[in-house]
Amino acid sequence: MANTMSEDSIPHTVLSVRYDGLCPPSITTQPTGGDVQRGRSITLMCIASGRGTLVYSWERRSFGGIWTNVSDDNAASYTTDATLTIGEYMYRCRVSNEAGSVASNNVIVNVYGRPSITTHPTNQLTTVRTTATLNCEGIGRGTIRYHWQTRGVNTGPWRNISGSNMQMYYVSNLQQSQQYRCVVSNEAGQATSNTATITVLKITTHPQGRLVPVGSRISLTCRSSVSSGVTFSWSHASSDVTGQLTQSGGTSTLTIINVTSSDAGSYVCTVRSGSLSAMSNRATVTVYAQVIFAGSNVQFTARGQRHLGAALGTTEFAGEHVTSKVAT
């Protein structure tokens, strides 16, 4: 028998489905971390979209730690705790509604303090003709700034050096020993380097010229600003240096026991430390022959001196006039 049922006559089952479009929220603006100096705060922001009631909460953890809830204020923004110690902290925002929750990207907030100094300036030896280079290096967050200070050796207050805002500082034409230090700072505070002493190698006591008779004994003394690790040498204008050389610390003495006419001339003392050296002023030694007067009434003029002792460069005849009689 033929099937005479039409499509409209077939019974239908009607399924009613209700769809309200509710699903977990989505993050549209991720939070951004940053650096903040110790004792201050930074504000994080997270924006989400979605239907239903959106609830915000913020979480934090230290590296290697666990997530802990730090805010139930249901706010899209969070201001970090100003009492956090120095270190790095990770934050995230969790947004939820009736359908579920979603977490933002993790962001890092670095709480930093004053800089630390990794390279300190060191003691150096220099001369008035050479340049010493001081170096100081600091590390830390924020803007690192440098400033150099100076004072006398263990004396007086520290003074700022104008324009000394670089990591390296050059000292030249220094006439006397000085001390230096570097102050390194950022927005959170400052750190001070070790003290570096720049010692100037120079002659502090120069040998003095002498007027001496033949056969006498003389000593020339030269003293250095540095008392250890130095050597001395003496030079004579026209011949090799004769005499005895002695050194005690930073002092050198040249002694000529029996002066002869060949010992006359200029003497220079040189002090050395490594590749550095400093020279003394010239000391001129004048040698004269002793004159023995016999008889009576010697009349002469010597170097414009009125007294015989002054004319001869000796105190032996200090009381005798040039025109007086000298006893045999």
Task: Kindly report the CATH number assigned to the domain that includes residue 271.
Answer: 2.60.40.10
pLDDT tens digits, one per residue of 90-113: 999 999 999 999 999 999 999 999
- Asked whether 111 and 64 are in contact (CB, 8 A), the reply is no
Query: Is residue 195 a part of any domain in this protein?
Result: yes
- Asked whether 247 and 234 are in contact (CB, 8 A), the reply is no
Query: Is residue 19 a part of any domain in this protein?
Result: no
Query: Is residue 15 a part of any domain in this protein?
Result: no
Q: Which domain holds residue 45?
A: 26-112
Q: What is the DSSP letter of 309?
A: H
pLDDT at 177 over 90: yes
Same domain as 207, residue 279: yes
Same domain as 123, residue 62: no
Same domain as 214, residue 195: no
Same domain as 239, residue 214: yes
For 8, the 3-state DSSP assignment is helix
Query: Is residue 3 a part of any domain in this protein?
Result: no
Nearest to 31 by CA among 68, 58, 70, 69: 58
Structural domains of the chain, count: 4
For 132, the 3-state DSSP assignment is strand
pLDDT tens digits, one per residue of 3-30: 544 545 545 444 444 445 689 999 999 9
Same domain as 175, residue 156: yes
Res. 122 pLDDT band, cuts 50 70 90: very high
pLDDT for position 302:
45
pTM of the model: 0.66
